């Protein structure tokens, strides 16, 4: 585990991070890179929320804008419409669930927290795509997932470059968390942003060095589920990338990941249980 706090207060609910948590994905989109994560109809949204909770998920992460490389931007009106529908359904089914809203728009974050009790804001842009986002999160007093992205979803995979990807991200997190703390945001989750302005080598270097970010004493979220760093390396499709996802999630857990963001909750929960059991075993000679 990370050496800082073992829990986060999430808009009236407590998120226990004494053991790694699993965040299940619900995309209310038509073009997310993994077709199995798209849930557009009310009954499928409810079924997916039930599945996440029944399989041991601790957080439901809802997004209404695809942020895959080259994705087209969704209007604010459509994003609000999709998220409002989903949160109404999930709050009815699971009133005590911890819900994270995946958005880079301050107005969307504000409405989802104030009207539907969203518990966490998950922002791929670290406040760079909406200048009001950080002050809005400070006012809402909810945890903030601070993700690193080089560029935008439209151009982020066009030859991303770093002097040293681990040092560059460490500097980014150090500077930005100081800024957030000065604004009154203290409940912060770090997300290295696998696949967001990183090539294959960048992604694997970051995975190998996840424990470096634990020095900042914030929980680290790892979101690598079915991503191109798995399926391109294995020459398969996202639909075939569950086994690779589980392997890399296990490596991330061994490096100190506090939250796994996944499409496949059951498998991730099992990875957490077995990794913790393995780590608790004594060394034998």
Question: Which residue in 173, 29, 123 sits closest to 113, CA to CA?
Answer: 123
Instruction: Give the CATH number, domain containing residue 185.
Output: 3.20.20.20
How confident is the model over 29-43, as pLDDT tens digits? 775 555 555 676 788
- What's the sign of the alpha-carbon dihedral 174, 165, 260, 61? positive
> Would residue 267 count as lying in a domain?
yes
> Would residue 284 count as lying in a domain?
no
Q: Please say whether the beta carbons of 49 and 43 come within 8 A.
A: no
Does the active-site annotation cover 227?
yes
Question: Which residue in 108, 19, 87, 32 sits closest to 58, CA to CA?
Answer: 19
The one catalytic residue in 261, 266, 273, 285 is 261
> Would residue 1 count as lying in a domain?
no
- Spatial distance between the Cα atoms of 104 and 107, rounded to a whole number of angstroms: 9
The one catalytic residue in 48, 198, 227, 255 is 227
- In the block, residue with structure tokens 């808009």: 11
> Would residue 77 count as lying in a domain?
yes
> Would residue 65 count as lying in a domain?
yes
Check residue 256 and give left, alpha or beta (phi > 0: left; psi -120 to 50: alpha). Answer: left
pLDDT reported for residue 74: 84
The pTM score is 0.92
Res 252 pLDDT > 60: yes
- In the chain, the number of structural domains is 1
Q: In the beta sheet, which residues pair with residue 131?
A: none
> Would residue 161 count as lying in a domain?
yes
pLDDT reported for residue 209: 97
Strands 7-10 and 259-262: unpaired
> Would residue 30 count as lying in a domain?
yes
Full residue range of the structural domain in which residue 46 is found = 7-279
Res 262 pLDDT > 60: yes
Cα torsion 264, 269, 275, 280 to 10°: value is 180
Does the active-site annotation cover 261?
yes
> Would residue 2 count as lying in a domain?
no
């Amino acid at each position: 585990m990370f050496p800082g706090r073992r829990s986060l207060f999430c808009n009236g609910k407590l998120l226990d991070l004494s053991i790694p948590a699993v965040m299940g994905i619900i995309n209310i989109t038509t073009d997310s890179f993994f077709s199995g994560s798209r849930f557009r109809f009310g009954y499928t949204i409810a079924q997916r929320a039930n599945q996440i909770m029944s399989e041991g998920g601790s957080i439901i992460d809802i997004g209404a804008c695809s942020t895959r490389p080259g994705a087209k931007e969704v209007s604010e009106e459509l994003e609000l419409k999709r998220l409002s529908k989903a949160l109404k359904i999930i709050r009815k089914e699971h009133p005590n669930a911890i819900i994270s809203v995946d958005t880079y728009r301050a107005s969307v974050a504000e409405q989802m927290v104030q009207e539907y009790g969203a518990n966490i804001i998950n922002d791929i842009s670290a406040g760079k795509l909406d200048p009001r986002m950080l002050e809005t999160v400070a006012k809402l007093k909810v945890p903030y997932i601070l993700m690193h992205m080089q560029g935008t979803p439209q151009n982020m995979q066009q030859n991303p470059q770093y002097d040293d990807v681990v040092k560059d991200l460490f500097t980014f997190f150090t500077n930005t968390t100081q800024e957030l703390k000065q604004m009154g945001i203290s409940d912060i989750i770090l997300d290295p942003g696998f696949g967001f302005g990183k090539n294959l080598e960048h992604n694997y270097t970051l995975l190998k060095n996840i424990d470096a970010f634990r020095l900042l004493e914030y929980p680290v979220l790892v979101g690598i589920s079915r991503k191109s760093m798995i399926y391109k390396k294995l020459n398969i499709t996202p639909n075939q990338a569950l086994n690779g996802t589980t392997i890399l999630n296990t490596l991330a857990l061994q490096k100190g990941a506090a939250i796994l963001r996944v499409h496949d909750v059951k498998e991730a929960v099992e990875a957490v249980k077995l990794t913790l059991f393995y780590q608790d075993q004594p060394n034998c000679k």
